[in-house]
Amino acid sequence: MSIKKRKKSFINSLVCVLFTITVNSSFAQYDANRFPIIPKPAQLIPTDGAFAINSQTIIFTENKSYGKEINVFRNQLQAIYGIAIQYGIAKTEKNFIYISQDSTGLPYEGYKLQIKYEGITIYGGQAGVLYALQSVFQLIRPSTGSMYAISPFSIPACTIIDQPQFSWRGIHLDVSRHFFNKENIKDYLKYMALYKLNTFHWHLTDDQGWRIEIKKYPKLTSVGAWRNGTIIGHQGQAKPQFDTLHYGGFYTQLDILEIIKFADSLHITIVPEIEMPGHALAMLAAYPELGCTQKDYKVANTWGVFEDVLCPSEKTLSFLDDVLQEVCALFPGKYIHIGGDECPKESWEKSTYCQNLMKLNNLKDENELQSWFTKKIVTMLQKKGKQAIGWDEILEGGLADGAAVMSWRGEEGGIAAAKAKHNVVMSPGTYCYFDHYQSQNENEPLAIGGYLPLENVYAYNPIPSILKAEERKYILGLQANVWTEYIPDFKQVQYMLFPRIAAEAEVGWAENTTKDFDFFLKRLMPHFYLYDRMKINYSKSIFEVKATTARAENGINVTLSTLSPKGKILFTLEGKEINYNSTAYTDPILVTGNETIKAAVFEGTIQKSNFYIQHFQSNLAFGKPVTLRKNPATAYNYGGSLTLVDGKTGRIPWLGSEWLGFSDDTLDATIDLGKEMEIHSIAISFLNDPNSWIYTPTSSLLLSSDGINFSSERCQKFTLSMSKNSIERKKYECESKARYIKIIGTSYQSIPTGFPGKGNPAWLFISEIEVN
């Protein structure tokens, strides 16, 4: 038997042995601090000893095609640890990293990794080799025990066989709302590679800016890439203010080719997005003839959804054909993202051209007109050798043959597409929108709203249980999205990305049945030191104090917790100042009246977290049982019905943890005060944020003494505050006795013309109900 055949036989035997050893121990946990690899490898067998990596280490291979993967690793080591390893062509007996050209039995992104005292051996194709080297990189530890030591560094011995669950493991970045230069984009790609993510969704165009050079249409960047002023603060404020900056930027085609080449070295595919037919104000500002109305369009300087969209004319289609020709020539990947989301139909309804086009093509409504338009674009791309992918709205009116769907409004769109045998990328806001807050702390930087903590990201399973086995193959994977309305610079991009990117990566790589959040947290802790070395501005939200509430006999119990495996929670009551001598938290805190809790995580005398501060305002309904006729939407049901009587008033910008959200339904909530009481007033907090399709409902209040017979005649309603974007406080003045209080709220079943979200069911958000 030749040496080459013996080597191949050994490799195959090794695979069989390892699979046999681990088949019954795939859930076994190893020392997380010693092997903090994220995403978790499919199989890892710890062994004794460690490999010392230093400037005398030689990395070599007989296959020159692995050169770019080797260079990526060498550059990482030099930049982060100051280790300059050698690139050799001849094998040494020790202190080596050997990359075998034998990838027998391994999938494209799979790898085998053996780390021993004398050296490291890697088997895999090019992508697999890169991922193996990233695993090696994550295992590097200072031998002295301090992560900040300069040298020497060691890598613990083990054997790993690994491969991903999904082929699409993506991260998105919106560069329209705020622009990030090409060096920022390269850093973003490095972060992706660190966690073995392989698809970069580049959101290049939107209402607030066009960011890609199109040589045939230079005004797309000379006009469309720039806006005059940007809204300051949150869109939800009553009287918005604007700065006076001429803001913008774009990527030349040379910039894009440079970034594509860089991404290729990291085995990352770039999917560019050209939004159409909605979210196109920047395009219309540059070429107003593409609109249904000839007027002076402006690049948007606020956020949200705008009525002005592309007219589905032959002129527009010809224009987009030219644009897509240049886009397709630049990007080598299979998919081009065509947007398709949040396209208001008002301008089409008013357009004689659009109405005639609908009659000519037997289209029954404007949704079918958008489907007709989308099918034209899909065909264009197919002729150019590309495949279209769009947001799940492209399902409305009929899905074009060959189009893939990115499901963001929950999973329903993705499920429908998979059942129709279309490829799907799951990206629901509940689990994948990284522009949402990741902490309930008041010191969090301004965000659009919502609440997506690390544990929720990790909890996601991209394969809906409702799908049959033969339908599940259409789920390509998942993607997290970073929308940048409230992310003005790259430091804040980092903050919103880390450490949630690590959780998303593990969801996309590891089998769902092998996930364990506590084990993930233990492996995550050493990554914070790596982030420090990489000078990443990461969120420390996992060290924060979190609070949950539960009904108690005479009020509510407040349970404090932290994800941090180190330190302890200290707290005070009555708003007193907190320090390392404060009371250690052990059991739920009973709150029976007005109270202010302060808490923080301490490690010895060192405060590790920001302060948690929560004010509780007591009233007659405080902690009382609430019955809901129907449950809120899953994404906005953080505290259940207790949210309405927990003594905490919802804030703007709104956090998902302070509000209950209902869609396409009537709110019907009944509070049981426990006994008949004198009632003088009842105040209810509703959210009004039309740009998020959240509208204040029409409401009514009914009282009852027996829970059966309700009357609305005993209270007079007043509106305490109301503006375009605010919390509306509705107050009912009553002079009556009652035990039961019923609140009925009805929002738009179909948002009317002239309002954001026209034609869609409105959201109804409610927070505290105060009874005095």
Positions marked catalytic: 206, 279, 342
Following DSSP, what letter does each residue of 333-352 receive, concatenated?
SSEEEEE--S---HHHHH-H
Tokens encoding 548: 């949950």
Tokens encoding 136: 């090696």
568 phi and psi angles, rounded to 5 deg: -140, 160
Following DSSP, what letter does each residue of 98-153 receive, concatenated?
EEES--TT--TT-EEEEE-SSEEEEEE-HHHHHHHHHHHHHH-EETTS-TT--S-E
Q: Residue 438 corresponds to which amino acid? A: Q
How far apart, in whole angstroms, are the C-alpha atoms of residue 317 and residue 290? 9
How far apart, in whole angstroms, are the C-alpha atoms of residue 291 and residue 277? 10
Whether the upstream peptide bond of residue 277 has omega within 30° of 0, thus cis, is yes
Residue with the two structure tokens 């909605």: 278
3-class secondary structure per residue, 683-732: EEEEEEEHHHCECCCEEEEEEECCCCCCECCCEEEEEEECCCCEEEEEEE
Helical axes 352-360 vs 366-383, angle rounded to 10°: 70
Q: What is the dihedral of CA 618, 624, 629, 631, to 10 degrees?
A: 70
- Nearest 5°: the CA angle 240, 246, 249 is 115
Please choose, from the candidates 375, 479, 367, 387, the residue with its C-alpha nearest in 3D space to the C-alpha of residue 434.
Answer: 479
Residue with the two structure tokens 């979200």: 757
Residue with the two structure tokens 């890439």: 225
Helical axes 314-330 vs 366-383, angle rounded to 10°: 40
Alpha-carbon Rg for the chain, nearest whole angstrom, is: 28
CA 32 to chain centre: 26
For residue 590, CA distances in Å to 477, 512, 587, 616, 672 come to 44, 37, 9, 11, 20
719 exposure class (CB count in 10 Å sphere: 0-12, 13-18, 19+)? exposed
Please choose, from the candidates 32, 299, 294, 226, the residue with its C-alpha nearest in 3D space to the C-alpha of residue 141.
Answer: 32
How far apart, in whole angstroms, are the C-alpha atoms of residue 541 and residue 531? 14
Please choose, from the candidates 738, 471, 445, 766, the residue with its C-alpha nearest in 3D space to the C-alpha of residue 633.
Answer: 766
> Which residues are within 8 A (CB) of 20 and not within 5 positions of it... i.e. 6 or more apart?
none
Q: Are 572 and 598 in contact (CB under 8 A)?
A: yes
How far apart, in whole angstroms, are the C-alpha atoms of residue 166 and residue 159? 23
524 phi and psi angles, rounded to 5 deg: -70, -30
Task: List strand residue ranges (DSSP E) for 459-586, in order.
Answer: 475-480, 546-552, 555-561, 568-572, 583-584
How far apart, in whole angstroms, are the C-alpha atoms of residue 218 and residue 156? 55
Q: Are 667 and 698 in contact (CB under 8 A)?
A: no
Please choose, from the candidates 54, 62, 125, the residue with its C-alpha nearest in 3D space to the C-alpha of residue 91.
Answer: 62
Tokens encoding 666: 């009537």
Q: Residue 300 corresponds to which amino acid? A: A
